[in-house]
């Protein structure tokens, strides 16, 4: 399966290597939904491959795709809390709630 370049995997999941919280857009994701640091992106991003999840979250907009991703993993409430708190650090978000769920990569 080819990458659809939909941007969802750069927004929806927690990414430890980037300290990126759940549902927060990676600071390196460009407006065209392409990685702006592609040649030096973290190993975890290099290792990521498109799979059936990409098809499962397919939707017209990035916002809809991210919402579908979070719903599939039952993470909507946690993502809403992160958004409410304005948290930009995954470690900070986890420490404040003691959560260990939602990390995909």
Kindly list the residues in this chain that would bind ligand SF4 in the complex (CB under 6 A): 10, 15, 26, 28-29, 35, 37, 41, 45
By beta-carbon proximity to ligand SF4, the closer residue of 38 and 72 is 38
CB of 8 to ligand SF4, least distance (A): 10
By beta-carbon proximity to ligand SF4, the closer residue of 20 and 94 is 20
For 23, the token pair is: 């549902």
CB of 78 to ligand SF4, least distance (A): 19
d(CA 102, CA 105): 9
CB of 98 to ligand SF4, least distance (A): 25
CB of 45 to ligand SF4, least distance (A): 3
Please say whether the dihedral angle defined by the alpha carbons of residues 93, 57, 38 and 1, taken in this order, is positive or negative.
positive
For 7, the token pair is: 């941007």
d(CA 41, CA 28): 9
Residue 35 phi/psi, 5-degree rounding, is -75, 125
By beta-carbon proximity to ligand SF4, the closer residue of 37 and 59 is 37
Tell me if residue 16 falls in helix, strand or coil: helix
By beta-carbon proximity to ligand SF4, the closer residue of 45 and 98 is 45
């Amino acid at each position: 399966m080819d990458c659809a370049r939909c941007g969802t995997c750069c927004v929806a999941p927690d990414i430890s290597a980037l300290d990126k919280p759940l549902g927060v857009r990676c600071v390196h994701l460009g407006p065209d939904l392409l990685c702006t640091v592609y040649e030096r992106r973290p190993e975890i991003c290099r290792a990521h491959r498109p799979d059936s999840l990409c098809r499962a979250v397919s939707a017209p907009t990035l916002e809809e795709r991210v919402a579908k991703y979070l719903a599939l993993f039952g993470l909507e409430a946690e993502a809403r809390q992160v958004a409410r708190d304005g948290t930009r650090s995954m470690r900070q978000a986890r420490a404040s709630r003691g959560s260990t769920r939602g990390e995909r990569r």
